[in-house]
Structure 1
Amino acid sequence: MQDSYLHTGSGFQNYRGIINLAIVLLILSNMRVALDNLLKYGVLVDPTQWLEYLIRDPHNVRALALISFSNVMILTAYITELALSKSYIQESLGSALHFINSFFILIIPLVYVFVYQPTPIWSSLACSTYSMAFIKLISYKDVNRWCRKDKMSKKQKTPDVQNLVQYPNNLTLKDLYYFMFVPTLCYELNFPKTPYIRKNFLLRRIVELVLLLQLIMGLIQQWMIPAVVNSMQPFDEMDYYRMIERMLKLAIPNHFIWLLFFYCYFHSYLNILGEITYFGDRQFYLDWWNAETIPYFWRTWNIPVHRWATRHVYKPMLKAGFRNSQASTVVFLISAFFHEYLVSVPLRMFRLWSFIGMVAQIPLASVISRFLSGNYGNVAVWLSLILGQPIAILMYVHDYYLANAA
């Protein structure tokens, strides 16, 4: 009879305890860093500082006026679609008017920022407003054009449900402004709606939004700003070891703030908008934290943008005869452009290295998908998120600091 020990052995098959150890060590190390920050700088959190900054900022009135001016572009798109529906103008002229209107939507914030040089906060608010208007009006234009084609080809079907809006009865200012406020980027003639407002749900989301915004601003004051300020000298001296140390020191608070902002915006804020507008489609994100590839992350972390890109860029390109890889690349480049637009314009600078870094994710995504899978792929995605953002933040802040030091 063989001894039973010959059929036994040791090995690493269940990693639960090791993972728990890693979590405990991560918590303890970050507690030490947080305590070191408090001992070194004291309490820097001031909840009223941000509000005072926004109110006393000399650019606030001008920025609010610029944001209000975006209504001119919205009305221009509405009048153009109304004229097209009544055949007052041809499709070619309507397309030209929409193109000119879209061009000015993107160029006006750029001119405002570089001429008046407002602070980054108000610049970001203006650029975000105009970018949102640009994306939504593209969808508004496309859907109405598709409806006109269906009507001309007599393919428009009679609705089975009463009170269902059909083209061109949707062309009202009320309908357009409803679309501008609901938490979606894709226009529909008939949006899904909820029957009533859930007051308890709405109150929870409002409390979350207020508390999380205070937490984010407090973490920026207490943790981010000192780390960024202390990173200026190593960048000036090109001290690579200290640059890496500062980047790693910034990585954890930066990503923690990014996670809080994600929840604050995509869960709390968008649900508030959806609730007060009776908007029924609340799928704003999927399980991007389980992403094993970068493409899956980009498809799931921002569902409104993904749906817009699929509907108005990806599928039209496929119908036009482009390959899947070509359409995907164009979608990614458009996403990279808007990410850079929302960062570069408020800071009054465009850095080619940043855009190249965004584009570099295309081959990076291919490498991760090809060589890594499962948990290894998920770890690679998290590393790209945690380390990529601090590098971009430090380099942009450093360049902004140098440009405004004089």
Structure 2
Amino acid sequence: MLIEEECSQTVKAASAEVSNTCSFMDSVNQESIRNRKTDVNKNKSPEKETNNNIKNKKEHCESCLKEQKMTSENPTERRRSSLMESIEWFKRTLSEPEFIMYGNNEKSKGEIHKHADSLLSTASGFTNYRGLLNLCILLLALANTRLFLENILKYGILIDPVKIIQLLVSEPYSWPNVILLLVSNIFALVALYNEKLLAKGWISENTGFGMTVVNLVLCLLIPSTVILVLHPNPIFSCITCGIYSMMFLKLVSYFSVNRWCRLQRTENTKIKRRKSLSVSESMLKSENGKPETLLVSYPDNLNHTDLYYFLCAPTLCYELNFPRSLRIRKRFLLKRAIEMIFLSQLIMALVQQWIIPTVNNSMKPLSELEFPRMVERLLKLAVPNHIIWLIFFYCFFHSSLNVIAEILRFGDREFYKDWWNAETVDKFWKTWNVPVHRWCVRHLFKPLVKRGYSKMFASVAVFALSAFFHEFIVSVPLRMFRVWAFSAMLGQVPFSLFVNKYCHHEKYGNMAVWLSLILGQPIAIFAYVHDYYIIHYAAPT
């Protein structure tokens, strides 16, 4: 207690001394101001000395106040204040530019040195890293070549191009898929004649809408029932379910567009669409003359030719008049056909040689839930799976769809955009599959927004529909329902919000998109293969 009283008395004495010093400083300051006003012609050197004295006394006063404050504070507050000062200093250091260069950057004749940054510094403005990109490509090629050689040395040559054909011919339960593809014409014809009845006014709009709903439900229900009952080959069943999914989306667009035409026909307006020119048309216009400009109006479009052209065209959105090219470019068609055949065979070869052995070797770690081994198998599967996925993208979206478009002289060839530069998840799904994106915007997103729903709700509805069809294409052929694909697609909504909130820089956003593609697909493959193996091949306990 005596020590505390002595410390408090010392602090009070110091504060009194500081206050006396501050009052003296104020009096000196006022006196100096009066002297400057009365004696203007005095020499400058005494004025400087007075200012220096005042400045020194002021600094002394501030230091005394600071010492008083430091002595009065407890050790915790002193440490906190020193920590805050260190943090502020660190922030100022980081905010400074990496390099500040003054002077002329041009080098005079005969000079050796000039003002210049190192090329790898951000201030240099150097952006040409093409050589390093080539190095990364070579390292990637060498690493994958080593993995491929290791696979061949371990398993031998597993590639058998004829095996798929033999599987189709030898297994009788694969033929229901062929029959289902033929039966799909019934749903198309029902949609056509339903539209004809509506156009002639023989049935009401409500009746026509009900028939359309029943037709669309059966379009998904019948193939699912046949596949689940007869158990055909899962690979061909996936293709069948994919074709029926496209049929469903096309028939929805077909009904919607014709309904818009009927509604506007009541206002005595003919529905037409001016024909747009493709690149081939604009290039050949001067040589072959003007393109055909004959437009079809409603209800003249309700015929078999128009319907089957739409069903075969590489688009999901129906129009009365599609953009058409002038002629079939035979050289372009031949290139795309060769690419399609070669890449499809390459995909099957990589699956046989690389994917199937890796998945088979992963059954034990998956069944025993050995987490380190599961992660190792996941990373081992990620590279070949992603390579196959990239080859599939080029084979389907570029080669195959261009072959179909060239044969049909379909003018709109924008099947994809630069999805590889996507900085957000939203941009990836907008540019990865343009036909599906256009259908979702035209027939789901905009109608929901016009009905008063929020854009967030409409986006979730779009992802939910996409998740349903992903699950339909996978679960029905495998005859098991684990909703892994549904959850993965619906999980894109929170993942998109996360990327938009935390990955502000475009580089980090693009890396997040690529990482989800590289690791997301192998996780889904392992999940379905594990469940399929447990259900169909694991011994009962």
Q: TM-score, normalised by structure 1?
A: 0.95
Match of 2:162 in 1: 48
1:391 pairs with one of 520, 523, 533? 523
* Correspondence list, 1:2-401, <5 A: 13=122, 16=129, 21-156=135-270, 163-372=294-503, 373-401=505-533
Tell me the number of residue pairs that the alignment of Structure 1 and Structure 2 aligns: 405
Distance 1:381 1:158, change over 3 A: closer
Structure-1 separation of matches of 2:309 and 2:412: 14
Higher alpha-carbon deviation: 84-93 or 337-346: 337-346
Distance 1:284 1:7, change over 3 A: closer
Distance 1:165 1:226, change over 3 A: same
Q: Does the CA contact (< 8 Å) of 2:333 and 2:406 recur in 1?
A: yes
Higher alpha-carbon deviation: 352-361 or 42-51: 352-361
Q: Secondary structure of the equivalent of 1:267?
A: helix
Q: Does the CA contact (< 8 Å) of 1:336 and 1:358 recur in 2?
A: yes
Structure-2 separation of matches of 1:123 and 1:246: 27
Distance 1:290 1:190, change over 3 A: same
Structure-2 separation of matches of 1:44 and 1:5: 62
Structure-1 separation of matches of 2:310 and 2:273: 21
Give how far 1:19 is off: 5.1
Distance 1:226 1:160, change over 3 A: closer
Higher alpha-carbon deviation: 279-288 or 155-164: 155-164
Match of 2:99 in 1: none
Distance 1:278 1:387, change over 3 A: same
Give how far 1:160 is off: 7.5
Higher alpha-carbon deviation: 176-185 or 118-127: 118-127
Structure-1 separation of matches of 2:156 and 2:118: 53
Paired AA for residue 510 in structure 2: N
Structure-1 separation of matches of 2:466 and 2:485: 13
Name structure 2 gaps, 5 residues minimum.
Answer: 1-101, 103-112, 276-292
Sequence identity (%): 50
Alignment RMSD: 2.1
Q: Does the CA contact (< 8 Å) of 2:336 and 2:403 recur in 1?
A: yes
Distance 1:20 1:194, change over 3 A: closer
Match of 2:63 in 1: none
Which of the pair has the greater relative contact order for Cα pairs under 8 Å at 6+ separation?
A: 1
Q: Does the CA contact (< 8 Å) of 1:59 and 1:122 recur in 2?
A: no
Higher alpha-carbon deviation: 48-57 or 132-141: 48-57
Paired AA for residue 163 in structure 1: L
Name structure 1 gaps, 5 residues minimum.
Answer: none
Structure-1 separation of matches of 2:454 and 2:274: 37
Give how far 1:325 is off: 1.3
Cα deviations by residue, 1:213-245 (Å, 9 ceiling, x for unpaired): 111111001100000100111000000100010
Give how far 1:24 is off: 3.9
Structure-2 separation of matches of 1:164 and 1:5: 69
Q: Does the CA contact (< 8 Å) of 2:484 and 2:527 recur in 1?
A: no
Structure-1 separation of matches of 2:441 and 2:192: 24
Q: TM-score, normalised by structure 2?
A: 0.72
Paired AA for residue 219 in structure 1: L
Query: Which of 1 and 2 has greater Rg?
Result: 2
Distance 1:130 1:12, change over 3 A: same
Paired AA for residue 324 in structure 1: K
